[in-house]
Amino acid sequence: MADVKSVGVIGGGQMGSGIAQLAAVAGISVWLVDLDSEALKRATKSITNSVQRFVSKGQISQEVATNALKNLRCTSNLEDLQSADVIIEAIVESEDVKKKLFSELDRIAKPSAILASNTSSISITRIASATSRPCQVIGMHFMNPPPIMKLVEIVRGADTSNETFMTVKTMAERFGKIIVCSQDYPGFIVNRILMPMINEAFFTLYTGVATKEDIDTGMKLGTNQPMGPLELADFIGLDVCLSIMKVLHVGLGDSKYRPCPLLVQYVDAGRLGRKRASKEFVVTLVAVKTKHANWQVLGYLISPLSVRARNFHFSLLISLAQYLKACNRHYHLLFSSIIAAA
C-alpha cells in the first residue's frame, strides 16, 4: 500500500475545493486544477474562509490551518500533476467528459498514480476503460460539502486492485471520513436510494398532490430529515439530480427511475439551484418567479384533473405562466375564459 504524499484535485467548484481542503488539512501537498483562473481564486478564498471557521470553532489549531494553506497550490495546467500519487476528478457529471479527462490523465500521471473519480453515479469500469491502468482507477464519492459531511463512498470497478482500494481507503480515513464500499452499479448506494426519493418529490409537486412547502415539511418532520427533498435537490443542483436519474433509468432499465418532467423542465430552463446565481430556494414556484402572477390561476391550470382533462403539456404551462406575468392585469378575464371553456 502506497503512502500518499501528493494529491491532485481537478475541478475548482464546491466539491473540488472541498476535497482539496481535506487533503491540505490532512498534511498532504495538493494541486487544485481548473481551467478558469477566476474559479481558482474563488476556491482559494472559499478554502481559506472554511479553514478559519474550523479554527474559530476549535476543530483544528491555527498551526494546522496555516500549514494547510501552505500545502495548497493552484494551477490551470494538468501537466503539474505529473508527480501526484493520487488524482481526484471532481468535474461535470458526464461520462464522455470524464473519460476524455481520464485518458489525458493516463498520459500525464506517473505509472504508479491512482486515478479517482468523484462521480456520484457513473460506472467506474467504463471510466477506467479510457485508461491503460484500469486496476488503478477507483470511485471516491464525497458528500456535499466535503469538509463537513463524514461519508465517503468508495466504488471498485471491475479491475480495481486491492492495493488501489486500500490506498484510497486509508487516505479517506486520514481525511477523517467514514467509509462505505459499493460495487459498480448505477447510483452506487447513496444515490440509488436518495435520488428516486427526490424524483418522487418532484412528481408529488408536479401532479398537484401537495405544495412544495408541505412536501418538504412532511418529509422533514415525518422522517426526521434535516432538509426536505426539494430543498435538498436545490442544494445539490437540479442538473446533477437529473443526470443521476438518467443514469439510473438507462442503467437499470426500470420505469420507476424515469425523471419527472418538472425536473427536466427546470433544468432545460436553466433553473439549476443555488449554484446558479441565486441563494433563494428556486423550487418555490411552479413556473415563474414574480410578485404579481396570479397563482390561483396557475394552481387551477396544473391541478391533476385539469391537466388530464385538457391534456396540457408542461411546456405549455410554462408559456401560460410567462404570459400571465406579462399580462397580469387581465388575469380575471383569462380565468373567466378558462372556467367557461371547462
| Catalytic residue annotation | 120, 141, 153, 191
Dihedral sign, CA of 201, 203, 204, 205? positive
- Measured from the Cβ of residue 100, the count of other Cβ atoms closer than 10 Å reads 12
Which of 182, 186, 181, 184 has its CA nearest to residue 121?
A: 186
Q: What is the spatial distance between Cα 161 and Cα 8, in angstroms, rounded to a whole number?
A: 20
Report the C-alpha gap between 49 and 253 in whole angstroms.
44
Count of Cβ atoms closer than 10 Å to residue 172 Cβ? 21
Distance between CA atoms of residues 306 and 317, nearest Å: 12
- Reference 243, options 132, 60, 94; nearest CA is 94
Sign of CA dihedral 64, 67, 73, 78: negative
CA-to-CA distance for 172 and 153, rounded, in angstroms? 10
Strands laid side by side in the 6-10 sheet: 72-75, 29-33, 6-10, 86-89, 114-117, 137-142, 151-156, 178-182
Say how many CA atoms lie within 13 Å of 287 toward its Cβ. 23
* H-only helix segments in 72-189: 95-108, 124-128, 162-174
- Report how far apart, in Å, the C-alpha atoms of 93 and of each of 55, 121, 205 are: 33, 8, 26
d(CA 288, CA 319): 10
Q: How many residues does the chain have?
A: 342
Helices 314-326 & 261-268 angle (0-180, nearest 10): 50
Distance CA 302, CA 229 (A): 21
